[in-house]
């Protein structure tokens, strides 16, 4: 036993103490030699200057007596001055000056590798001694403590002597050794209690922070933070107390802020931000219980407040990585919201209270700092989870709290919009332009999702009440900014249309989108905002797609021609398109080319949808009569004749209107419809109809084509009547006279 201890001590002296002492002596000797070389170089540089000065000051007649008595110093020749051998010291200094890469390798990388190699070799020997039971467990821990103390003291001496990187590395090795020694004493050997181990590890972290501050070493500060956050996981094998671990993390955040502000080390704040998130995730994955959701939410809220406070304090930092740290800290509200939703998702009352509270706080801050886009993002971050929650609510017992939550969220945002208009009445931000319809339509969808499962008959009433609420909001907005009232009225009219159309079952959603699209296009033209018009056009396209999908669906059994939801919806969308065409025709658009194209697109779209609505109604009418004995034989024949006649008559009407109103797009549409009708008659009708029906069908189509051609013949010669260019008749020269 004694021999093993002696051997271990000798090995420790040879591998740790002697290299450190030798490096210390060698560094001191090297520093002394460098000082002597610098002084010698300075003296050799001054000697020629003194001689030149003496020669300059000597009189031309001869030397003074003092100069005669003084020994003469031979002047150095130019060749000798340029000869490298004449200046051996300077040459030696130049040759021994390391390059930048060489200095980095020799002074840093070799140091790190050497210290790591020493620690590994000592660790291997100690492990070998442990395996062979050379030393007892307390002695093992004591050796670790002693080795850490030696490294700490040696590192401090080297740092004070001017070798800061070397000394700081040794100090860091000593701190890491102490961490391992305390961990082994607690978890491997059970030599100390949990409380004692926690106090020792916290003391080591505090000592590391003190050394980082005194030695001005950011890596030591990072080591202290990592060790401090890792202490609870090194100590507790079972579930730690919630207040102990989460409260301890809050104290670490505060301590990190102090050290980072004192030395302007923003990287420490970033490390604290990341490690706090990992601590919360690890604790929740291993030890979280739903019964402690409220304290956990309070701690997460405290962390959010602390990191926002850190972000505020870092606003004046000029460190190189400070902008990146601030960018990372700006994500604090996002992570806080996600963590809160995960914690409170199973506790519905707290969940609803949280959504109201975060909306109120977020809107207050955004109004205070006049942050427009964050209010829109906040609305989306609250409305999305609230809509999802509405689909999973258990019973009607949560109806009243859910309704109150939706009204509170929408009311807070509406009040903020009025306040922002009051502050800047002449400026309506793009975020508010989007938030007006989003808040109103979102309010209706939220209330409808909550009320419909329990009281489906009240959905129309909900839309009517929402329309009245936005009508009242329009009155309030009009007193502040009359130009902004149109944005509110569009929402009110949309909700009123929904209140009337909700009786058409599934068609009300399409009516909602179509009405909102028409209102956005009108606002875009009125406010001269292109992106609003584009948004309205896209929304109108969605409405048309929904209409087409509804029209091609199977015909229900209870069906009345033109008194059904898809026919009414088709006529409604056609009316919206006609309104859009009228707005572009009479609006004060800044681009005449855009106005003509948009108007032509709306007119053509309205006529195509109208023709499609007529065709689907004809098809549905005869589809229900195919199975009856009375119409079984003639239903398909009559349907094909009615379709051809309707298409031909509609094309003829388009031709007449296009020529009279001088709408070239309508005339082209009429030609396309005529072409489709002719193709159908000669390919479909003639193959299915009898001789009499063929004669009637072809005769009717021929009369329509002849009538349309007559219109072209009669009015086509008028200049500009059908959009054609007529070149003036060329002047014909008279024939030359015979002669």
Give me 174's structure tokens: 């000593």
What confidence tens digit (pLDDT) does each residue in 203-216 have?
999 999 999 999 99
- What whole-number distance in Å separates Cα of residue 195 and Cα of residue 380? 47
Phi, psi of 680 (to 5 degrees): -65, -40
CB 201 within 8 A of CB 234: yes
- CA dist 173 and 55 (Å) reads 61
Does residue 92 carry a pLDDT above 50?
no
Q: For the whole model, what pTM was predicted?
A: 0.66
Q: Most confidently modeled of 325-339, 506-520, 592-606, 643-657?
A: 325-339
Mean pLDDT over 337-362 rounds to 93
Task: Kindly write down the DSSP assignment for every residue of 12-54, as one continuous string.
Answer: HIIIIIHHHHHHHHHHHHHHHHHHHHHHHHHHHHHHHHHHHHH
Radius of gyration of the chain (CA): 45
| Helices 635-661/664-680 angle, 10° precision | 160
Q: Are 300 and 280 in contact (CB under 8 A)?
A: yes
Give the domain ranges of the chain.
Answer: 1-24+90-213, 368-503, 625-717
Whole-angstrom distance, CA of residue 244 vs CA of residue 231: 12
Mean pLDDT value of segment 321-347 = 93
Predicted confidence band of residue 506 (pLDDT cuts 50, 70, 90):
low
Q: What is the dihedral of CA 296, 299, 300, 301, to 10 degrees?
A: 120
722 or 236: which leads in pLDDT:
236
Whether 108 contacts 167, CB under 8 Å: no
- Listing DSSP states for 406-428 in one string gives HHHHHHHHHHHHHHHHHHSTT--
214/220 Cα distance (integer angstroms): 10
pLDDT in the model for residue 606:
92
* For residues 49-61, average pLDDT: 50
d(CA 585, CA 228): 71
Most confident region among 159-173, 693-707, 719-733 by mean pLDDT: 159-173
Which has more confidence, 568 or 85?
568
737 — pLDDT class (breaks 50, 70, 90): very low
pLDDT for 290: 86
In DSSP notation, 300-364 reads HHHHHHHHHHHHHHGGG---TTHHHHHHHHTTHHHHHHHHHHHHHTT-HHHHHHHHHHHHHHHHH
Reply yes or no on whether the pLDDT at 63 is more than 50.
no
What pLDDT is recorded for position 461? 87
Report the C-alpha dihedral over residues 526, 528, 530, 536, rounded to 10 degrees: -10
**Amino acid 238: pLDDT:** 46
Confidence of residue 442 (pLDDT cuts 50, 70, 90): very high
Alpha-carbon gap, residue 174 to 149, rounded angstroms: 6
String of b and e for 112-142 (b: at least 16 CB within 10 Å)? eeebeebbeebeebbeebeeeebbeeebbbe
**Model confidence over 590-634: pLDDT tens digits?**
556 777 888 889 999 999 999 999 998 888 887 776 655 455 556
Q: Helix, strand or coil for residue 76? A: coil
d(CA 431, CA 484): 13
- In sign, the C-alpha dihedral spanning 206, 210, 213, 219 is negative
Reported as a single tens digit per residue, the pLDDT across 113-153 is 766 676 666 666 666 766 776 677 888 788 888 988 998 89
pLDDT at 653 over 80: yes
Q: Please count the other Cβ atoms lying within 10 Å of the Cβ belonging to residue 156.
A: 18
Would you place residue 2 in the very low, low, confident or very high pLDDT band (cuts 50, 70, 90)?
A: very low
Quick one: which of 122, 205, 113, 120 has its CA closest to 166?
113
Average pLDDT, the chain: 78
Type and span of the H or E element at 187:
none
Here the tokens at position 405 are 């939550």
**Would you say 388 and 432 are in contact if contact means Cβ atoms under 8 Å apart?**
no
End-to-end CA distance of the chain: 150
Three-state secondary-structure class, residue 543:
helix
The answer to whether the CB of 440 falls within 8 A of the CB of 495 is yes
Q: Which residues contact 409 (CB under 8 A, 6 or more apart)?
A: 355, 356, 359, 379, 382, 383, 386
Cβ count near 490 (within 10 Å): 23
What pLDDT is stored for residue 334 in this prediction?
94
Q: Which helix (H) or strand (E) holds 233?
A: helix 218-235
């Amino acid at each position: 036993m004694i021999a093993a201890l002696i051997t271990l001590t000798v090995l420790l002296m040879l591998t740790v103490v002697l290299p450190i002492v030798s490096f210390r002596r060698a560094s001191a000797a090297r520093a002394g030699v460098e000082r002597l070389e610098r002084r010698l170089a300075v003296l050799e540089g001054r000697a020629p200057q003194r001689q030149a000065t003496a020669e300059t000051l000597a009189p031309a007649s001869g030397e003074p007596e003092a100069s005669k008595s003084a020994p003469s110093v031979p002047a150095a020749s130019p060749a000798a001055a340029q000869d490298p051998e004449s200046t051996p010291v300077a040459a030696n200094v130049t040759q021994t000056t390391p390059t930048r890469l060489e200095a980095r390798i020799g002074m840093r990388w070799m140091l790190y590798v050497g210290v790591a190699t020493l620690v590994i070799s000592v660790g291997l020997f100690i492990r070998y001694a442990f395996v062979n039971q050379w030393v007892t467990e307390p002695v093992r821990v004591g050796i670790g403590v002693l080795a850490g103390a030696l490294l700490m003291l040696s590192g401090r001496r080297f740092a004070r002597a001017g070798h800061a990187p070397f000394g700081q590395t040794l100090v860091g090795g000593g701190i890491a050794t102490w961490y391992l020694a305390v961990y082994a004493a607690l978890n491997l050997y059970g030599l100390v209690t949990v409380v004692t181990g926690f106090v020792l590890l916290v003391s080591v972290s505090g000592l590391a922070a003190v050394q980082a501050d005194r030695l001005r070493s950011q890596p030591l500060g990072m080591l202290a933070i990592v060790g401090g956050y890792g202490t609870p996981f090194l100590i507790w094998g079972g579930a730690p107390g919630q207040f102990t671990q989460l409260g301890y993390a809050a104290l670490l955040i505060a301590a990190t802020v102090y050290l980072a502000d004192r030395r302007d080390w923003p990287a420490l704040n970033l490390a604290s931000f990341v490690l706090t998130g990992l601590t919360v995730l690890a604790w929740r994955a291993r030890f979280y219980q739903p019964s402690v959701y409220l304290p956990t939410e309070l701690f997460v809220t405290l962390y959010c407040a602390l990191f926002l406070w850190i972000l505020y304090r870092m606003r004046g930092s000029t460190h190189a990585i400070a902008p990146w740290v601030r960018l990372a800290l700006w994500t604090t509200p996002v992570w806080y919201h996600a963590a809160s939703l995960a914690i409170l998702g199973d506790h519905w009352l707290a969940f609803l209270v949280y959504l109201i509270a975060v909306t109120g706080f977020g809107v207050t801050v955004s109004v205070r700092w006049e942050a427009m886009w964050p209010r829109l993002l906040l609305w989306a971050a609250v409305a999305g989870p609230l809509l999802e929650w509405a689909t999973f609510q258990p019973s009607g017992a949560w109806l009243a709290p859910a309704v109150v939550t939706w009204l509170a969220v929408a009311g807070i945002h509406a009040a903020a919009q009025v306040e922002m208009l009051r502050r800047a009445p002449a400026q309506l931000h793009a975020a508010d332009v989007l938030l007006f319809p989003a808040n109103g339509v979102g309010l209706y969808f939220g209330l409808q999702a909550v009320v419909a499962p329990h009281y489906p008959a009240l959905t129309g009433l909900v839309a009517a009440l929402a329309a009245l609420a936005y009508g009242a909001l329009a009155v309030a907005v009009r007193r502040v900014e009359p130009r902004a009232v149109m944005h509110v009225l569009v929402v009110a009219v949309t909700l009123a249309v929904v209140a009337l159309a909700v009786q058409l079952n599934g068609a009300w959603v399409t009516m909602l989108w179509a009405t909102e699209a028409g209102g956005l296009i009108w606002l875009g033209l009125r406010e001269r905002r292109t992106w609003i018009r584009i948004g309205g056009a896209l929304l109108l396209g969605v409405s048309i797609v929904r209409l087409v999908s509804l029209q091609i669906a199977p015909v229900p059994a209870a069906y009345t021609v033109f008194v059904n939801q898809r026919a009414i919806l088709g006529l409604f969308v056609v009316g919206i398109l006609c309104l859009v065409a009228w707005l572009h025709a009479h609006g004060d658009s800044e681009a005449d080319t855009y106005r003509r194209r948009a108007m032509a697109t709306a007119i053509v779209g309205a006529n195509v949808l109208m023709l499609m609505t007529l065709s689907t109604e004809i098809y549905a009418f005869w589809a229900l009569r195919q199975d009856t004995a009375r119409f079984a034989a003639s239903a398909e024949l009559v349907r094909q004749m009615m379709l051809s006649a309707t298409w031909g008559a509609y094309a003829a009407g388009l031709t007449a209107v296009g020529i009279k109103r001088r709408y070239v797009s309508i005339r082209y549409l009429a030609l396309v419809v005529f072409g489709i009708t002719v193709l159908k008659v000669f390919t479909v009708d003639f193959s299915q109809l009898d001789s009499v029906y063929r004669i009637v069908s072809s005769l009717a189509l021929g009369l329509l084509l002849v009538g349309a051609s007559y219109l072209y013949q009669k009015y086509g010669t008028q200049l500009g009547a059908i959009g054609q260019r007529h070149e003036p008749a060329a002047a014909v020269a008279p024939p030359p006279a015979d002669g």
